[in-house]
Structure 1
C-alpha cells in the first residue's frame, strides 16, 4: 500500500469515526433537551394545580368561617325578591298551557365583610336562593273564560334551593377583596404549600428533591423551605392568590436542585449503551489503525533489512570474486605471498558474512526461547576488559581511546560469558561507528543498592528523543546524516536488550543530538 492510499484510508476512517461520535453526541443532546422540556411542562402543571388548590383552600376556609358565624347568629334572614322570570307556552294541538316562573330571592343575614377585615369596606354578605315553579293547565281544567287567577293547574311542580352560581361568584369577589390586604403568613403556611406540592409532585411522578419559596414583588417572603436558593435554570414559578381582577403580587417558585440528574437518569440506560458502542468502535478503530501502522512499519523495515543485508553481502561477495579472479591470474598464482593474501581476504569476508547470518539466527532463537543461556558467577569488570580487547584493532585503526573508571566495590554477577561479552562488544562497536572524529569512549562502573551499573559514554553524533525510544527495536537504525560509512542491519542493540533482559537486568540510553550517547546497563548483584 503506497503512502497516498494509506493516508486516504486513515483519513476516511477518522472522518467516519468522528461522524459517528458527533451523531451520538447530537442524539444525547437532543434527548436531554426533549426530556428537559417534558420536565418543564410537568413542573408547570404541578405549579398550576398547586396554585388552584391554594386558592380553593383559602376560599373554602373563608366560606366555612362565614357560614359558621351566620349559623351561630340564629337570625331569620331578610328576604326580598330580586328578579322574577316568567315563561308562558300554549300547545295548539293539545290546548295545554305551560307556565314556568323562577324567582331569585337574596337572603341577607346582616353580616358584612368588615367583620373579617376592617379594610374590606361595607360589603354585605348574602346568600341567593331560587324558587322555581312549573304549572301545566289542560283544556278541561279551564272554564269557559279561559285562564284566570282562580284556575287550578292540572300539574304543579315546585323546587327551591341555593343559587350556586351567584353564590360562588359573590363569595369569590368577596373573599378576594377581604383577604387582599392580609399578610401572606395569615393566608397560607409553609407546611400547607409543602404538603400540596408534595402531593402534586408525587402524582406527576416528579420524584426528585425540591425547594420552594413565595415571593412578593420579587422579594422573598417567610413562606419558603429552608434550603431554597434561586437558580434560573432549575427554578419555575406561577402566580398565586389572585385578586378579583386576576392580578397578584405573589409568585410561588419551585426549584429542583437535582434537575439535571433526574432528567438525565431517564435516558441513562440508552446513553450508557450508546457510549459503550462508541468506546468499542473507538478501541476497534485505534487497534485497527495501530495494526495498519505496524504492518506498514514492518513492511518498510523488511524492505530496509533486505536492502541492508543485500548491501552487507554484496561487498564481501564482490571482494571474494575479485580475489578469486586474481588468484586465477597466471602471474598471481605463482606468487605464493599474494595467493596467501587473497585467500586470507576470502576467509575474512566469508567470516564476515557468517557473522551476519549468525546475528539474524541468534535473534530468531532468542525470540523463540530456543537459545540456551547458561550463567555462572563472574566479575563484570573482567568481561569489560575482554570486550575492549576484542575491539582494540578497530579502535587503533580509528585512532580512538577507551578509558575505564571502575568505581564498583561489588561486581559479581551471574553471567553467560559468550553472550554478555557480545553485548559489551556491540555497545562499544556502536560507540565507535557513530563517532565522526576519533572515538573517545569512557566506561564506568558503580554500585547502586544491590545492582552494578555499567555506563558506556561516547563522543558520537547522539540521537533524538524519538530515536532513543526505538533504538532497541529490531532493524531500527538512526539516520546518520552526512555519516555514510556506518554499516549494520539494526539487530545489534536488539540483541543487547534480549540478552540483558535474560540476565534480569535493564538497559537504556541517555543521549542528546550532537553531544554523544551513554548506554547504561543495570544488573543485579549476587548477595
Structure 2
C-alpha cells in the first residue's frame, strides 16, 4: 500500500511536470507565430506607407512619363497542315515619371528614381504560307490581337527594392512607433489566446533602442525574438524582442483546476490510507492489550482458585476437620478469595453495562467530603497493612454536588487503590479539595512510581496497562480507570492526570457544584 501510494504521488508529479512542459512548448509555438505575423505586418505596413507616398507624388506632378523599350522578344510558329503562320511579340516598356527619392527623404539623392513597367503584347495570324522574312513586309495579317497592361511583378519587385533602400537609411523610431507595435502585439496575442502581460523592445545590432515598453527587462527563459525589416541584401539589423514577466504563472493557471482536483483526490487517498494504517496499528495494540488482560485475569483467578483448592484439601484432612478454629480460618479464606473473584467479574460486567448504557445511575445531592471519607474507609485496612498513610486537606467551603454516591465512591476507591498498588514503598497519599468558580476540585496525590507521558494519554482506555516487562508485581487488568472515566463522564465531570516517572502521580477531578 505504501509503495502504491508513493507510486501514485510520483506519477502525479511526473504528469504535472510533463503537462507544464507541453504547455510551455505550445506557448512558445504561439508566441513564434505571433512574432512572425507582426514582423510581416510591419514590413507590409511600411511598404504600404511608401506606396501611398509614391502614388501621391506621381499624381501631383501631372506630366506624361518618358517611355523607353526595356525588353522585346517574339515567337514564330507555322502549321504545315493548315498553312497558317502565328506570330507573337511582346515589348516591355519602362515609364519614368522623373520622381527622385529626394521626395521621400532629402538624404537619398544618390538613389535612382522609381519607374513603372508595362507590356505591349501582339498576336498575328497569317493564312497564306509565308515565311519569317515576308512577314516583316506584309502589313495586313488575317487576324491581329493586341493587348497592353502593367507588369505587376516587375513593378512590385522594383518598388520593393526602392522602398527598402530608402527605409534602411531611416532611424528605427521613424519606421515604427511604440503605440503601433503595442497594438499589433496585443491583437495577435489575443487571437492566439496568450492572455498574459508582456513587454517588448526593438534591438539594433544587439543594443536596445527607444522603441520599447516601459518595464521591459530581458529574461532568457521568458524572452522570444524575431528579425524585422530585412533589407535587400538579406541583412537583419533589427530584432524584435518580447518578454512575459508572468509566464510561469500563466502556464500554471492553465493547469490549476486539474492540479487542485488531483491534489484533493491524492489527499483523500492519503487520509484513507493513514486511517487504515492507524486502525491496523490500533487493532494490533488492542489485541496486545486484550492478551495482557487475559493473562492478568488468568493470573488473578489462578491464585484464588489454587488457594481455595488448598483450603478445601486441608479441610478434608481428618486432623484439620476436627479443629474448628482451623476449619473456620480455611472457610474464611475461601470466602475472601471467592469475594475477590466476584469483585473482578463485577468489574468486567460493570464496564460492559456502561458501554451498552444499561447501567442505571441515579443521582442525588451529596456532600463531596462525605463521599471521599467513605472511600478512604474502604481502603484503610490495605493502607494499614502496607503501613501507609492518607492525609486529607479539605479546603473547599461549598461541597454540595449532584452524584450517585455508590459509583462516585467506587471512583475515589479505584484511584486510591491505584495509588496504593503503584507505591513501591509505604503509600503516602494526600487528598485535597478546593473551590474554583462553580466547581469543586479534588486532587489525589501519591508518591509512587509515576508514569510515562505515553501512559498518561492512554490510562483511561479499557484494558490498557503500562508495560512493565515480564514483572507481574502489580495486579490488575486495566479496567479500573476505564470505569472511573465512564462514571465521571456520566456525571459531567472532568479528570486529568499529572505525573512524572519515579516521582508519583496526581489525579485531578473537576466536579460541578449545585447552585
TM-score by length of 1: 0.89
Indicate if the aligned counterparts of 1:457 and 1:516 stay in contact, CA closer than 8 A.
yes
Listed as ranges, the matches of 1:6-155 within 5 Å are 13-140=1-128, 142=130, 146-155=134-143
SS in structure 2 at match of 1:487? coil
1:453 and 2:441 matched: yes
Indicate if the aligned counterparts of 1:240 and 1:252 stay in contact, CA closer than 8 A.
yes
Q: How far apart, CA to CA, are the structure 2 residues paired with 1:230 and 1:408?
A: 78
Q: How far apart, CA to CA, are the structure 2 residues paired with 1:516 and 1:35?
A: 66
Alignment match, 1:355: 343
Could you tell me how far 1:493 is from its partner in structure 2? 0.9
Could you tell me how far 1:237 is from its partner in structure 2? 2.7
Could you tell me how far 1:280 is from its partner in structure 2? 3.7
Greater alpha carbon shift after TM alignment, 132-141 vs 59-68:
132-141
| C-alpha spacing 1:228/1:446, structure 2 compared with 1 (3 Å) | farther
Could you tell me how far 1:231 is from its partner in structure 2? 4.3
Encode CA deviations 1:144-201: one digit per residue, 9 max, x unaligned: 9742333433333333333322322333333233223433332222332232223322
1:216 and 2:222 matched: no
1:191 and 2:204 matched: no
Indicate if the aligned counterparts of 1:464 and 1:512 stay in contact, CA closer than 8 A.
yes
Greater alpha carbon shift after TM alignment, 478-487 vs 70-79:
478-487
Alignment match, 1:289: 277
Listed as ranges, the matches of 1:325-340 within 5 Å are 325-340=313-328
Q: How far apart, CA to CA, are the structure 1 residues paired with 2:76 and 2:82?
A: 15
Greater alpha carbon shift after TM alignment, 104-113 vs 490-499:
104-113
Listed as ranges, the matches of 1:350-499 within 5 Å are 350-481=338-469, 484-499=472-487
| C-alpha spacing 1:120/1:443, structure 2 compared with 1 (3 Å) | farther
| C-alpha spacing 1:164/1:212, structure 2 compared with 1 (3 Å) | farther
| C-alpha spacing 1:155/1:382, structure 2 compared with 1 (3 Å) | farther
Alignment match, 2:190: 202
1:503 and 2:491 matched: yes
- Which of 278, 294, 304 aligns to 1:316? It is 304
Could you tell me how far 1:216 is from its partner in structure 2? 2.0
SS in structure 2 at match of 1:391? helix
Alignment match, 1:4: none
Indicate if the aligned counterparts of 2:114 and 2:162 stay in contact, CA closer than 8 A.
no
- Which of 230, 233, 236 aligns to 1:245? It is 233
SS in structure 2 at match of 1:124? coil
Greater alpha carbon shift after TM alignment, 159-168 vs 364-373:
159-168
Indicate if the aligned counterparts of 2:75 and 2:89 stay in contact, CA closer than 8 A.
yes
Greater alpha carbon shift after TM alignment, 294-303 vs 230-239:
230-239
Could you tell me how far 1:320 is from its partner in structure 2? 0.7
The answer for unaligned runs of 5 or more in structure 2 is none
For these two proteins, the number of residue pairs brought into alignment is 514
TM-score by length of 2: 0.91
The answer for unaligned runs of 5 or more in structure 1 is 1-12
